[in-house]
Amino acid sequence: MFKSILSKGRKLAGIGSIAAALVAAAPAVAQDKEPIVFGGSIPLSGVFAFAGVHLHAGLTDYTTWINSQGGINGHPVKYVMEDTGYEVDRSVAAFKKITGSNTVPVYYGDSTGFMKTIASELNSRGSTLMSGASFATALTDNEQYPNQFVPGPNYTQMFGIILEYIATQGKDGEKPTVAFVYSDTEFGKDPIENGKAKAAEMGIEVVEEIVTKPGSVDVSAEVLKMRRARPDFVVFHGYVLSPINEFMVQMRQMGLDTQFMGTFWSSDKLIINKMGEDADGYMGVMPYNYYDSAEGGPMLDALRATAEKSDPDAGYRPTGYMQGWFNAMVWTEVIKRTMDAGKELTAENMAESLASIKNWDTGGIIGIPVTAHDMSFPVGRIWRVNAKEGRYEPVSDWIHLD
Amino acid sequence: MDWLFFGEISLAGLAMGGLYALIGLGFVIIYKATRVINFAIGEIMMFAAYLFLAFAGGMEMSPWVALPLAVLGGSLLGGVIEKIMIRPMLGESSISVVMVTIGIASILVGVVEMIWGADPQLLPSFLPRKPVFIGEMYLAPKIAYGFLIGAALLIVYLLYFRFSRGGVALRATASDQAAAYSMGINVRRVFNLAWVFGSLAASLAGVLVAATGGLSPQFGAIGLSVLVVVIVGGLDSIVGALIAGVFIGWLETVAGAYLGGEYRMPATFAVLAVILVFRPYGLFGTHEIERV
């Protein structure tokens, strides 16, 4: 008994000394300055948990990294989050709880639904700038959502980038034809009308438009429609994996030489890992460099080093991780700009700082300097799956929409 | 009108409907014998599909070994659920039992997320990939072969219920529990058997549907779609489940193809509404069924 207590005591003492050593070794973050809180409603469980765990890891690791760099203007950063299960009511409750017990200048919202729901409260408080998992076009409406931004191109802009790429792929002076396939959800429908308008403006014919139920669904009837429409490109939106695989496999079985493309949430390695060889040739628009891309840069290198240190066994970090990290990078930049201007950290001041971002070098996270437009960063690149190598490779230059 | 297209669409819908019929059968067997509406049927399907993933993917077994193992695992799960969670509820109100099945569904989702994570999954490919043509009509191979496997199980079930002792005991219990008990039929065992058989049908359908449309912890939601099938067919009618399954599958697919994907569900729910108004006990159900 005594030995057991002694043993536990030694272990605790050991842990205590390690903790003390870590504190002593930590880079100089001014202890007298108030911490800046990054808040977050994070979907660690529920339907979006597949991405939520990585978003969370990205935010956590960025916080570790920024603190190792001395915090933001000497203020340490504290990341406070709650799991929401990807349910709007739980996200709202988490927001109220976190903002009720902390001063939270920036906050991560886990869904478009939550970000729309909380908008009026966010606007009336005027103290918090919000971004998150959503790239919804609506959130870049400055009139309605002045205190929210998206950490990349919105879905309409992603379609714009995809169509810009498609327009360059015509043969004999003819523009390729395209079909849109999207889920019957708010997420899925987001860019469709604008996408059709943009395609018409660019002279690209939309030969088929297919709506499916989200998730596990048989699409063999829809594939039959594709067989008749014979589009040169199919653009998917509103999915993560299924039914993209079924469209690709079945359309290829029919002998069609259609090329397949998708937006952010359907352009991760998941597609390669799950589809294997069948994923070859699939293309996605991505605003960030992939974790395992050949690209580099000081921030991208720091991200990789921090990720490696925080979980050496994790290996590749998904795009959700990059998104979480980039969100926190933008928050830092915005807070820093606001502080440097001698202004209070109000939502309005931070939104102004965000709008002032021009030709910002993200240190390799995005391959070219970026400029904020209407609370978004309308930049991206088309990447194609090389199934043999098991990764995405760039097939276009970086495209920055005006 | 493009009749070839209509034929191809109809064929795809009928084949998918066959799988709906299989799930509906799982639903009806349990209800018919035990009067329990099993809201966890979708999650049992999901669990079996994950077992298949574990056997064929993780353990790299032959899919043809993994398939029966996964289906047996799903049916065993059904039996265990009946024994430790449903049986103690005997005599309680049907609402309480329904709530237990909803709770079981949530637990199964949690267990799957803990073991396999929340990532969407694709099952290892195990069905032939060569396109199937019936005359000039194309049918996706996964759907075609999935239908054949499902149909084979349906035939085995129908023969079992018609000719075997267990099948007769099950039908007798479904007709009149008290009379079956007085004739020496072990009613409790029949209840358990119903859960095992119902879950087995659902498990096979789960693997086949997941092979077609992918798998995630939310896969079980498909079980609720099939609720439409069994209400249209009649909660206690095996024939009703089979006919309604095939019909709903066809209707959903045709509506999706001609009206757009967003009309798939409204089309089936419109049929459901009409049936509920004119035949609230379903097309083939018995009048005295109790609704929840």
> Side by side, which strands form the sheet with A106-109?
A77-83, A36-42, A106-109, A129-132
Out of A53, A216, A223, whose CB is closest to B216?
Answer: A216
B56 pLDDT more than 60: yes
Q: What is the pLDDT of residue B261?
A: 85
Q: CA angle B245-B247-B248, nearest 5°?
A: 65
Structure tokens at A206: 């939309």
Q: What is the pLDDT of residue B90?
A: 84
Q: Which residues contact A102 (CB under 8 A, 6 or more apart)?
A: A37, A39, A78, A80
Q: Strand pairing of A77-83 and A129-132?
A: unpaired
The answer to whether the CB atoms of B12 and A45 lie below 8 A apart is: no
The answer as to whether B207 is a domain residue is: yes
Q: What is the pLDDT of residue A137?
A: 96
Percent of chain B whose pLDDT exceeds 90: 61
Q: Give the number of residues written for chain A.
A: 402
The answer as to whether B66 is a domain residue is: yes
User: A36-152+294-371: what CATH class?
Assistant: alpha beta
The answer as to whether B28 is a domain residue is: yes
| Residue B205: C-alpha distances to residues A150, B16, B49, B150, B176 (Å) | 41, 10, 9, 7, 29
Q: How far is B289 from chain A (nearest CA, A)?
A: 31
Q: What is the pLDDT of residue B291?
A: 53
Q: How far is A276 from chain B (nearest CA, A)?
A: 10
B22 pLDDT more than 70: yes
| A22-31, A179-188, B258-267: least confidently modelled range | A22-31
Q: Which residues contact A325 (CB under 8 A, 6 or more apart)?
A: A58, A59, A61, A62, A303, A365
A6 pLDDT more than 50: no
**Range B38-66 average pLDDT:** 95
Q: Is B57 on the interface with A (CB under 8 A)?
A: no
Give the SS3 label for residue A120: helix
B262 pLDDT more than 50: yes
Structure tokens at A263: 């937006």
Tell which of A56, A110, A217, A316 to mutate to test the B interface (max B CBs under 10 Å). A217
Domains A36-152+294-371 and A155-286+382-400 share a fold: yes
Tens digit of each residue's pLDDT (9 = 90 or more) over A376-390? 999 999 999 999 999
Q: Distance between CA A226 and CA A258 in Å, rounded?
A: 10
A28 pLDDT more than 90: no
Q: What is the pLDDT of residue B288?
A: 65
* Amino acid in position B10: S
Residue in chain B closest to A217 (alpha carbons) equals B213
Structure tokens at B38: 């099993």
The answer to whether the CB atoms of B12 and A184 lie below 8 A apart is: no
Q: What is the pLDDT of residue B223?
A: 82
Residue in chain B closest to A213 (alpha carbons) equals B261
| A173-182, A219-228, B63-72: least confidently modelled range | A219-228
Chain B residues in contact with A243 by the CB 8 A cut-off are: 213-214
Tell which of A185, A212, A218, A270 to mutate to test the B interface (max B CBs under 10 Å). A218
Q: What is the pLDDT of residue A352?
A: 97
Q: What is the pLDDT of residue A215?
A: 67
Residue A138 near residue A156, CB atoms below 8 Å: no
Out of A184, A243, A253, whose CB is closest to B213?
Answer: A243
For CA atoms B256, B262, B265, B266, the dihedral sign is negative
Q: Distance between CA A53 and CA A128 in Å, rounded?
A: 23
Residue B5 near residue B136, CB atoms below 8 Å: no
Residue in chain B closest to A52 (alpha carbons) equals B118
Give the SS3 label for residue B19: helix
Looking at chain B from residue 12 to 31, which residues have their Cβ under 8 Å from any Cβ of chain A?
A: 12-13, 15-16
Q: Distance between CA B208 and CA B214 in Å, rounded?
A: 10
pLDDT band at A2 (very low <50, low <70, confident <90, very high): very low
**Range A236-262 average pLDDT:** 93
Q: What is the mean pLDDT of chain A?
A: 91
Q: Is A225 on the interface with B (CB under 8 A)?
A: yes
The answer to whether the CB atoms of A241 and B214 lie below 8 A apart is: yes
The answer as to whether B233 is a domain residue is: no
**What are the residues facing A236 on neighbouring strands?**
A181, A262
The backbone torsions φ and ψ at residue A264, rounded to the nearest 5 degrees and listed phi first, read -50, -55
Chain A residues in contact with B213 by the CB 8 A cut-off are: 215-219, 242-243, 246
Q: What is the pLDDT of residue A4?
A: 43
The answer to whether the CB atoms of B213 and A227 lie below 8 A apart is: no
Q: What is the pLDDT of residue B292?
A: 53
Residue A153 near residue A194, CB atoms below 8 Å: no
Exposure string of B118-137, with b = 16+ CB inside 10 Å and e = fewer, is bbbbbbbbbbeeeebeeeeb
Dihedral of CA atoms B89, B91, B93, B99 in degrees, nearest 10, equals: 10
Q: What is the pLDDT of residue B290?
A: 55
Of B20, B85, B18, B14, give the one whose Cα is nearest residue B227.
B20
DSSP letter for A343, please: -
**What are the residues facing A81 on neighbouring strands?**
A40
Residue B256 near residue A205, CB atoms below 8 Å: no
Give the number of other CB atoms < 10 A from CB of residue B7.
Answer: 16
The answer to whether the CB atoms of B118 and A274 lie below 8 A apart is: no
Q: Is B209 on the interface with A (CB under 8 A)?
A: yes
CB pairs under 8 A between A and B: 117
Tens digit of each residue's pLDDT (9 = 90 or more) over A251-295? 998 889 999 999 999 999 999 999 999 999 999 999 999 999 999
Of A324, A176, A369, give the one whose Cα is nearest residue A257.
A176
Q: What is the pLDDT of residue B178?
A: 85
For CA atoms A149, A152, A154, A157, the dihedral sign is positive
Domain of residue B154, residue span: 9-116+137-217
Q: Which residue has the tokens 């990532």?
A: B119
Chain A residues in contact with B214 by the CB 8 A cut-off are: 215-216, 241-243, 245-246
The answer to whether the CB atoms of A224 and B8 lie below 8 A apart is: yes
**What are the residues facing A383 on neighbouring strands?**
A284, A394
**What are the residues facing A385 on neighbouring strands?**
A392
Q: Distance between CA A105 and CA A34 in Å, rounded?
A: 12
Tens digit of each residue's pLDDT (9 = 90 or more) over B132-165? 888 888 888 888 999 999 999 999 998 998 899 9
For domain A155-286+382-400, give the fold. Rossmann fold (3.40.50)
Q: What is the mean pLDDT of chain B?
A: 91
List chain A domain ranges.
36-152+294-371, 155-286+382-400
What's the domain count of chain B? 1
Q: Which residues contact A357 (CB under 8 A, 6 or more apart)?
A: A330, A333, A334, A337, A370, A371, A372
